[in-house]
């Protein structure tokens, strides 16, 4: 009985949301996604563009952007002001067994910390240790009552 009580206390002490644990290629891709997201916080549009594949396809706001140049040009608006308009963090990472294609997904937050969307990105290993995003899009989070 004492063991059960200790286990129950330990469970209660755990945070409601624990950060995901990634290993191997998952960790590698999660780190790349975090570096990609850090360009927004750092307000570094040139660094953002480095992560884009030449074949990048981004969807959102009812439009589809095709190609690195089109995506980079369109995303300049998100880097124009001193404060980032949103931030994101991967909480899911899946990598093909071949280790050459990966999917990341996670929450997107407004500057006040409110959850506003979920992003989904597909990353391709284009050269040794060089992951680039080929597809990106998101889905707004519904704040409606069930």
Domain count within the chain: 1
CB 137 within 8 A of CB 118: no
Assess if residue 70 is contained within a domain: yes
Q: How far is CA 124 from CA 76, 82, 89, 120, 129, in A?
A: 23, 31, 18, 14, 10
Residue 13: predicted pLDDT: 41
**Predicted confidence (pLDDT) per residue in 71-129, tens digit:** 999 999 999 999 999 999 999 999 999 999 999 999 999 999 999 999 999 999 999 99
Own/partner pairs, 109-113, CB within 8 angstroms, 24+ separation = 110/85, 110/86, 111/83, 111/84, 111/85, 111/86, 111/87
CB 105 within 8 A of CB 118: yes
**Predicted confidence (pLDDT) per residue in 41-71, tens digit:** 999 999 999 999 999 999 998 899 999 999 9
CATH code for position 36: 3.10.450.50
Residue 142: predicted pLDDT: 77
Question: Does the reported pTM lie above 0.75?
Answer: yes
Assess if residue 17 is contained within a domain: no
Assess if residue 145 is contained within a domain: no
CB 103 within 8 A of CB 118: no
Would you give the DSSP letter of residue 143?
-
Residue 136: predicted pLDDT: 98
Per the structure, the complete domain to which residue 93 belongs is given by 23-140
Assess if residue 89 is contained within a domain: yes
Q: Is the pLDDT of residue 23 over 90?
A: no
Assess if residue 109 is contained within a domain: yes
* Strand pairing class (87-88; 101-109): antiparallel
Of 140, 135, 141, which Cα lies nearest the Cα of 62? Answer: 140
Assess if residue 74 is contained within a domain: yes
Would you give the DSSP letter of residue 80?
S
């Amino acid at each position: 009985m004492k063991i059960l009580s200790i286990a129950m206390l330990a469970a209660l002490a755990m945070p409601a949301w624990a950060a995901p644990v990634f290993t191997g290629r998952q960790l590698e891709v999660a780190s790349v996604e975090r570096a990609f997201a850090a360009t927004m916080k750092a307000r570094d549009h040139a660094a953002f563009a480095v992560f884009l594949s030449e074949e990048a396809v981004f969807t959102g706001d009812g439009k589809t952007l095709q190609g690195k140049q089109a995506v980079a040009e369109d995303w300049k608006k998100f880097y124009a002001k001193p404060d980032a308009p949103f931030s994101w963090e991967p909480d899911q990472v899946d990598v093909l067994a071949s280790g050459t294609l990966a999917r990341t997904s996670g929450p997107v937050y407004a500057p006040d910390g409110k959850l506003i969307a979920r992003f989904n990105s597909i990353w391709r290993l284009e050269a040794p240790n060089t992951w680039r995003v080929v597809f990106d899009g998101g889905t707004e989070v519904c704040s409606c009552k069930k």
